[in-house]
Chain A
Amino acid sequence: MSEPLLAVDGLSRSFGKLVGLTRLDLTVEAGGIHAIIGPNGAGKTTFFNLVTGALSPDGGRIRFGGSDIGHLPAYRRTALGICRTFQSIRLFGSMTTLENVLLGLHCRTRGGLLAPLLGVPFRRSPGEVAARERAVAVLEMVGLATKAHQSAVELPYGEQRRLEIARALASAPRLLLLDEPSAGMNPQETLELEALIAQVNRRGVTILLIEHKMSLVMKLSKIVTVLNFGQKIAEAAPAEIQRHPRVIEAYLGS
């Protein structure tokens, strides 16, 4: 069997007396959609923060594509191909839809503070022209191309969620971490989101999905990991996970 895309070993992190994650072992195979579910406070978002480098672990290892990334800063991990969306939308408020996506291309483009001073105006420089073409292509994929020049935070809620996905996709991730992408969406928006996630996955992006809507998890994921109180309590195919006694106990109480 080939090496998994992401492998964490004994990953732990606590917040004072609060336990975030306790010695979590988890592997994500390349190519699939891997769902992570669990009650509130189970450690799902903590796990995302540790993998992306927003938090540093108390202990444990994180391997991505065969190399140890546990000590790399967040921006280096993005460059290696890990990108995320946020549970509560965190778009750049002063920017347009297009500019938000262009920010996602930051690690795929070059040029420092003094670079725009020489040569043609920045907007017409070859790198920026190519970046804008790519950004528009990503916006077309998520269906927001017509809103490229609107203020991002003035988009309807569902479209803001799609824009967050577009912004992350612009960084050309190999692993995309979606943190409750359907939160606050109506059924129609949720269906559109499901199609989008499936489409992104078909293009070769491995997806880690935190989600509360079971319909979405059941339809999309190949494998489901269940967390509770910072620990993995079950891991199986979606059909089995619903019948797992410890999962039922975690959700319904014993």
Chain B
Amino acid sequence: MLSDHAVSILIFAGIDVIMALSFFLPASAGQLSAGQGGFMALGAYTSAYLTVHHQTPFPLALAAAGLVGGLVGLAVGFPALRLRGLYLVLVTFGFGEMVRVLFLNAPAFGGPAGFAGIPPATTIWYVLGLLVVLVYFFTRVSGSRMGRAFAALRDDEAAAEAMGVNSTYVKLAAFAAGGVIAGLGGGLYAHYTLFIDPEAFGVGRSLFVMLYAVFGGLASFWGAVAGATILSILPELLRWVKDWREILYGLLVLIMMLVRPQGLLDAVLLARLSARGERAAARS
């Protein structure tokens, strides 16, 4: 059996993968969000509040966390209809900060002192279960009609609209679905750490989530999975350098982005891997 320490590393890595996927979904439609930490906070506080103050069973509270993330994602999607690229990054960044400050000033949620006494409920099976569902979702959607519309919008928005893609619908759907995933990630996080405060979901969180997905490569959702897994386990592997750990971590990320600016899994590598997979399937 795995040690408690190993399980804890896996749970945090799993939540990081979930968060990276929540960034990847709108990004696959060309919508870059620097506010996924905000959705995560909404999910975490929703689930914590419901279980502590209303004795809601965890699965239900977790579903509510996803729902709140999705509804707010829909709302954040509206300004995204008019904004592109860097401007959208700034607006979503502002959204994340707004959520953080909101919880900082909400006594019902503990304010700056944080929210303690959250019942333990998240197990490795919850995390793995959600990951299996998400991998199934992404494999099915990529290459589907909507998956293609997402890619078209990312490649060339005006051309996509001219070909009959309703960009309003696609963008809102992408933000809402990303919000659902981040809300679920937040719920799982809250019921594992058992204590949350607004600082856990600030700019740093949003940027790390972005880094995971970009590091892994945006050509496929597998990039977000690989990037988040590697980058959240890496600090554990670097323990032996002690004080130099964070410097070495930053250096490794820097070198990687210089060597493979397209991310770990770029389109070329993915094509090679899938060709090999198809050959293996043909042999068996």
Contact = CB atoms under 8 A, between A and B. Distances in A.
A103 B163 contact: yes
B141 interface: yes
A220 to B, nearest CB: 23
Nearest to B159: A90
Interface in B127-160: 136-137, 140-141, 143-149, 151-152, 154-156, 158-160
A94 B166 contact: no
B165 interface: yes
A116 B165 contact: no
B167 A122 contact: no
Interface residues of A, number: 40
Contact of B155 (A83, A92, A104, A168): A92
Contact of B161 (A74, A110, A127): A74
Nearest to B133: A117
A103 B160 contact: yes
A102 B148 contact: yes
B162 A93 contact: no
A128 interface: yes
Given A106-B145, A115-B144, A116-B140, A92 B151 contact: yes
Given A95-B155, A103-B152, A116 B144 contact: yes
B7 interface: no
Contacts, number: 105
B172 to A, nearest CB: 11
A95 B165 contact: no
A130 B194 CA distance: 51
Interface string A112-143: 11011100011100011001000000000000
- Give the contact-size bracket for chain B: 20 to 34
Contacts of A93: 155-156
B155 A106 contact: no
B177 interface: yes
Nearest to B155: A92
Contacts of B168: 73
Given A75-B166, A103-B152, A122-B140, A111 B145 contact: yes
A75 B177 contact: no
A79 interface: yes
A206 interface: no
Contacts of A127: 145
B173 interface: yes
Contacts of A86: 159, 162
A92 B164 contact: no
B173 A112 contact: yes
Contacts of A46: none
A83 B163 contact: yes
Interface string B259-280: 0000000010000000000000
B156 A92 contact: yes
Contacts of A52: 162
A212 to B, nearest CB: 21
A167 interface: yes
A199 interface: no
Given A106-B165, A113-B173, A128-B145, A90 B140 contact: no
A106 B164 contact: yes
A185 interface: no
Given A54-B158, A90-B158, A99 B148 contact: yes
21 contacts: A73-B168, A75-B164, A79-B164, A83-B164, A90-B158, A94-B267, A103-B160, A103-B163, A106-B145, A107-B163, A109-B145, A110-B145, A111-B145, A112-B173, A113-B177, A115-B145, A117-B136, A117-B141, A122-B145, A127-B145, A171-B164
Given A74-B162, A122-B144, 17 more contacts: A52-B162, A73-B161, A75-B166, A78-B164, A83-B164, A94-B267, A102-B148, A103-B148, A106-B152, A109-B145, A111-B144, A116-B141, A117-B140, A121-B140, A167-B163, A168-B163, A171-B163
Interface of B: 136-137, 140-141, 143-149, 151-152, 154-156, 158-168, 173, 177, 219, 267
